[in-house]
Amino acid sequence: MTTLHVLGSGSQGNCFAVASDGAAVLIDAGFSAREIERRAEAAGLALDWVAGIVVTHEHGDHASGAARLARRLNAPVLTAAGTWSQLARRMPDVIHQTIGLCGDVVVGPFTVRACPTSHDAAEPLAVAVHVAGGASVGVAYDLGRPTVAVRYLLRDLTALVIEANHDDVMLRTSGYPPVVQRRIAGSGGHLSNRAAGELLVELSHPGLAVVVLAHLSQRCNSAEEARAAVTPRLRDAGFRGEVHVARQDQPLPPILLVPRLSAQLGLAWGNV
Residue 239 has pLDDT above 70, yes or no: yes
Report the alpha-carbon angle 31-243-222, nearest 5: 60
pLDDT digits (tens, 9 = 90+) for 63-114: 999 999 999 999 999 999 999 999 998 888 999 999 977 679 999 999 999 9
Q: Does 265 fall in a domain?
A: no
Q: Does 264 fall in a domain?
A: no
Q: Does 271 fall in a domain?
A: no
Residues 6+ apart with CB under 8 A from 149: 115, 116
The pLDDT of residue 197 is 97
Residues 6+ apart with CB under 8 A from 61: 10, 11, 12, 13, 14, 30
Number of structural domains in the chain = 1
Give the separation between CA 96 and CA 92, rounded to whole angstroms: 9
Q: Does 267 fall in a domain?
A: no
Domain that holds residue 91: 2-257
pLDDT digits (tens, 9 = 90+) for 158-202: 999 999 999 999 999 998 999 999 888 888 888 999 999 999 999
Mean pLDDT of the chain: 91
Global pTM? Answer: 0.92
What CATH number is given to the structural domain containing 145?
Answer: 3.60.15.10
Average confidence (pLDDT) over 215-238: 96
Give the separation between CA 114 and CA 47, rounded to whole angstroms: 23
Q: Does 88 fall in a domain?
A: yes
Q: Confidence class of residue 261 from pLDDT cuts 50, 70 and 90?
A: low
Q: Does 67 fall in a domain?
A: yes
Longest distance between any two alpha carbons in the chain, whole Å: 59
Helices vs. strands in the chain: H and E counts, helices first: 10, 14
Q: Does 236 fall in a domain?
A: yes
Q: Does 106 fall in a domain?
A: yes
